[in-house]
């Protein structure tokens, strides 16, 4: 895999600015606001983010919760909104006819006359994309939707299904106080030209600026050049760089460690990092460096469905977690992180207009010892 570096200094900023654009991204879930300022991003609490809504689908899992609701759908987003989380995370790609849609996989798979074949989301028109899976009109039957995992192709069967959707629909139909963590999805194995990246990002930004209103927004991406460009094209919303934290190695060195992620953020004015949690647990010293650099740090990964792992992250100063088991982890976080009396606490980052949040949980030495001993076991999961 090779990613082509692009120069962003000459890229013009997008001149589509919403009338109500503000650096204070407020909602009732963040009554004091979510602010960007020169010394960092301000979020008033340890945040919980629903992965692809109410959790990703793992079709081969024996755990019914991983097959409860179709991921990345309006139904999943609004199901997540019933719990006390702060954001939902979802993946956005742009169709051939320039419509931002929500779908994780690079290819959409179906079967016809006994033959399985796939098409890239970016090669489909909007109508073709929406023709897969359940349809909005009862009388219409959609194309069979399949998924490939670990070389095995399976029917995308879930307990509660829902049609595929667009980014615009999400803004219109999802609970308006719920924040959106919009992952800008690109194929790891394609070398993208700068003009293509700019076009895709401007297409997405047009929808965001037209429909976001007061909804908190965070952009994130594994694509280093897209991260640089989305920051160049807009300054209203924070940008986070996604990384495996060294758990996988790529030809593009910018993707291979927390240190490289931090370097990319600092050199390009990004607000934070989202790392696979195993990468953080294997390199805990990087957390201090990241925090001292006034960057925010979030994590993702299946360990975030383990309450003890979430405990540990809060103790380490990590600012939030992306989770699949939304109900279980929001309940665990509510139990272990209590608001302090008198509003004392810590915001997401030090800096101007520091927002008060929740205190760190209190543990005995015995409990701390247990948690630290748990890390090697967690890394084996």
Tens digit of pLDDT for each residue in 207-234?
999 999 999 999 999 999 999 999 999 9
Q: Is residue 76 part of a domain?
A: yes
Least confident piece of the model among 12-16, 251-255, 257-261: 12-16
3-state DSSP call for residue 219? Answer: strand
Check whether 342 has a pLDDT greater than 60.
Answer: no
Q: Is residue 132 part of a domain?
A: no
Check whether 32 has a pLDDT greater than 60.
Answer: no
Q: At what angle do helices 326-336 and 307-316 cross, to 10 degrees?
A: 50
* Residue 88 belongs to domain with CATH number: 3.20.20.190
pLDDT of residue 18: 44
Calculate the average pLDDT of the chain: 85
Average confidence (pLDDT) over 353-376: 52
User: What are the structure tokens assigned to 343, written together?
Assistant: 């509003």
Q: Is residue 9 part of a domain?
A: no
Q: How many CB atoms lie within 10 A of CB 12?
A: 9
Q: Phi/psi class of residue 33: alpha, beta or left (left: φ > 0; alpha: ψ in -120 to 50)?
A: left
User: What are the structure tokens assigned to 235, written together?
Assistant: 């300054």
Q: Is residue 251 part of a domain?
A: yes
pLDDT of residue 285: 92
Degrees, nearest 5: CA angle 48-259-204: 55
pLDDT of residue 279: 96
Strand 272-276 to strand 296-300: parallel, antiparallel, or no bridges (unpaired)?
parallel
Check whether 119 has a pLDDT greater than 50.
Answer: yes
Q: Give the pLDDT band (50/70/90) at residue 354.
A: very low
pLDDT of residue 103: 98
137 to 75, 94, 111: CA distances (angstroms): 16, 24, 21
Check whether 339 has a pLDDT greater than 90.
Answer: no
Q: Which residues of 235-255 are buried (b: 16+ CB within 10 A; e: fewer)?
A: ebbbbbbbbbbbeeebebebb
* DSSP symbols for 206-218: HHHHHH-TT--EE
Domains in the chain, number: 1
Phi, psi of 108 (to 5 degrees): -105, 125
Half-sphere exposure of 377 (CA within 13 A, CB side): 8
pLDDT of residue 345: 40
Average confidence (pLDDT) over 127-153: 93
pLDDT of residue 149: 87
3-state DSSP call for residue 312? Answer: helix
pLDDT of residue 350: 36
Average confidence (pLDDT) over 135-139: 90
| Segments forming the whole domain that contains residue 193 | 47-106+163-336+368-379
Most confident region among 253-267, 334-348, 353-367 by mean pLDDT: 253-267
Cα(265)–Cα(248) distance, rounded to whole angstroms? 20
Cα(65)–Cα(253) distance, rounded to whole angstroms? 36
User: What are the structure tokens assigned to 230, written together?
Assistant: 């989305």
Q: Is residue 347 part of a domain?
A: no
Q: Is residue 5 part of a domain?
A: no
Average confidence (pLDDT) over 256-269: 97
pLDDT of residue 138: 83
Q: Is residue 37 part of a domain?
A: no
Q: Is residue 120 part of a domain?
A: no
User: What are the structure tokens assigned to 381, written together?
Assistant: 């999961």
pLDDT of residue 26: 46
């Amino acid at each position: 895999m090779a990613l082509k570096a692009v120069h962003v200094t000459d890229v013009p900023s997008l001149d589509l600015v919403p009338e109500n654009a503000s650096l204070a991204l407020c909602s009732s879930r963040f009554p004091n606001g979510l602010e960007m300022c020169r010394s960092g991003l301000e979020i008033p609490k340890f945040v919980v983010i629903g992965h692809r809504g109410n959790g990703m689908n793992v079709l081969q899992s024996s755990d019914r919760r991983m097959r409860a609701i179709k991921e990345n759908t309006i139904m999943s987003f609004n199901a997540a909104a019933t719990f006390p989380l702060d954001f939902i995370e979802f993946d956005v790609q742009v169709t051939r006819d320039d419509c931002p849609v929500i779908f994780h996989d690079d290819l959409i798979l179906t079967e016809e006359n006994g033959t399985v074949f796939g098409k890239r989301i970016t090669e489909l028109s909007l109508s073709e994309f929406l023709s897969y899976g359940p349809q909005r009109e009862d009388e219409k039957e959609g194309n069979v939707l399949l998924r490939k995992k670990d070389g095995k192709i399976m029917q995308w069967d879930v307990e509660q299904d829902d049609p595929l959707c667009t980014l615009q629909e999400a803004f219109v139909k999802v609970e308006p106080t719920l924040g959106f963590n919009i992952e800008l999805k690109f194929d790891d194995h394609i070398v993208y030209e700068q003009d293509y990246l700019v076009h895709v990002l401007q297409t997405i930004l047009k929808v965001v600026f037209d429909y976001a209103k007061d909804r908190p927004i965070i952009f994130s991406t594994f694509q280093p050049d897209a991260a640089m460009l989305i920051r160049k094209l807009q300054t209203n919303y924070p940008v986070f760089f996604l990384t495996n934290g060294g758990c996988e190695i790529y030809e593009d060195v910018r993707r291979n460690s927390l240190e490289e992620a931090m370097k990319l953020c600092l050199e390009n004015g990004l607000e934070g990092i989202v790392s696979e949690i195993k990468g953080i647990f294997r390199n805990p010293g990087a957390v201090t460096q990241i925090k001292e650099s006034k960057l925010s740090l979030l994590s993702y990964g299946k360990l975030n469905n383990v309450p003890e792992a979430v405990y540990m992250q809060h103790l380490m100063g990590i600012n939030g977690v992306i989770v699949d088991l939304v109900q279980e982890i929001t309940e665990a976080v509510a139990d272990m992180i209590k608001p302090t009396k008198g509003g004392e606490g810590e915001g997401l980052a030090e800096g101007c207009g520091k927002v008060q949040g929740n205190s760190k949980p209190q543990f005995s030495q015995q409990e701390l010892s247990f948690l630290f001993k748990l890390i090697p076991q967690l890394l084996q999961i």
